[in-house]
C-alpha cells in the first residue's frame, strides 16, 4: 500500500489504519499475522451480486423464466456501478470487474427477452437501451433494439440506433455485419 516506505513503517501504518477502521466499522477487518482480511461470515456485495446472477441465469437456462426474471430484477437493483472504480487500471481488479459487468449484461438481456416475450415492448426497449450503454460493442443488441423500435413505428429512432451501433463498432475497430445494413435498407426504403 505504501511502496515508498520500508516494511516496518508500512506495518505500522497498516496497524494504525486498521485501528481507525475498527472504530468506524467494528470488527469488519481482522489481522492475522501479517495479513488483514475480512472477518469470517462477512459478505461482500459483489459476491452476493455474482451468486444471485448465477442463480437467475441457472433458472433461466432450466426453463423457470418467471423466477429467473424475479431474481434478475432484484439482482440488478443491487448493481451500483463498476467494482473498485478507483482501481480501474490495476491489473488485479480487472478480471472481477469484467466478470460482474458481464453478469449485468446477461441479466439485462434475460430481462429484455422476458419483457419482449410478455409483450412489454417499452420495458424491453428500456432494458436493451441500458444494455447497449453498458456494452456498446455488441451489434446484436443494436439490431434487437432497432427492431423493437421499428415495431412501434419509431423508424427514426431505429435508424439512429443502427447509426449509433455502427459508430460504436467502428470506434472499437470492429466491422459491422451485413445484417445491420440489411435492416437499415428495410427501414429506409428507397
In order along its 190 residues, the chain shows pLDDT tens digits of 677 888 888 888 877 887 887 788 777 777 777 677 788 888 888 999 999 999 999 999 999 999 999 999 999 999 988 888 787 778 888 899 999 999 999 999 999 999 999 999 999 999 999 999 999 999 999 999 999 999 999 999 999 999 999 999 999 999 999 999 999 999 987 5
Segment 74-80 long-range contacts (CB within 8 Å, at least 24 positions apart): 75/49, 75/107, 76/104, 76/107, 76/108, 76/111, 78/45, 78/48, 78/49, 78/52, 79/49, 79/104, 80/45
DSSP conformational letter for 138: -
For residue 104, the tally of other CB atoms under 10 A from its CB is: 21
The candidate with the shortest Cα–Cα distance to 168, out of 145, 189, 148, 147, is 145
Question: How far is the CA of 138 from the CAs of 17, 77, 135, 154, in angstroms?
Answer: 43, 23, 6, 21
Q: From CA 150, how far away is CA 143, in angstroms rounded?
A: 10
> Using CA atoms, how far apart are residues 124 and 113, in angstroms rounded to an integer?
7
Residue 108 contacts residue 134 (beta carbons within 8 Å) = yes
- In our burial notation (b when 16+ CB lie closer than 10 A, e otherwise), range 120-158 reads eeeebbebbbbbbebbbebbebbbbbbbbbbeeeeeebb
Contacts with 72 (C-beta within 8 Å, 6 or more apart), sequence order: 53, 56, 60, 107, 110, 111
- Give the span between the Cα atoms of 13 and 61, in whole angstroms: 49
The whole-number pLDDT of residue 190 equals 59
Amino acid at each position: 500500500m505504501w511502496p515508498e516506505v520500508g516494511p516496518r513503517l508500512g506495518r505500522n501504518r497498516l496497524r494504525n489504519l486498521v485501528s481507525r477502521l475498527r472504530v468506524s466499522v467494528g470488527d469488519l477487518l481482522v489481522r492475522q499475522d501479517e495479513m488483514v482480511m475480512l472477518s469470517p461470515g462477512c459478505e461482500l456485495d459483489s459476491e452476493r451480486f455474482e451468486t444471485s446472477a448465477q442463480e437467475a441465469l441457472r433458472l433461466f437456462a432450466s426453463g423457470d423464466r418467471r423466477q429467473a426474471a424475479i431474481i434478475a430484477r432484484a439482482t440488478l437493483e443491487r448493481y451500483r456501478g463498476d467494482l473498485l472504480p478507483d482501481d480501474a487500471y490495476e491489473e488485479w481488479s480487472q478480471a472481477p470487474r469484467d466478470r460482474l459487468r458481464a453478469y449485468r449484461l446477461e441479466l439485462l438481456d434475460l430481462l429484455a427477452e422476458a419483457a419482449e416475450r410478455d409483450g412489454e415492448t417499452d420495458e424491453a426497449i428500456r432494458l436493451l437501451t441500458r444494455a447497449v450503454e453498458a456494452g456498446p460493442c455488441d451489434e446484436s443488441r443494436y439490431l434487437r433494439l432497432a427492431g423493437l423500435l421499428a415495431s412501434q413505428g419509431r423508424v427514426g429512432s431505429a435508424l439512429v440506433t443502427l447509426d449509433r451501433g455502427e459508430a460504436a463498432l467502428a470506434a472499437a475497430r470492429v466491422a459491422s455485419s451485413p445484417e445491420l445494413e440489411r435492416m437499415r435498407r428495410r427501414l429506409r426504403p428507397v
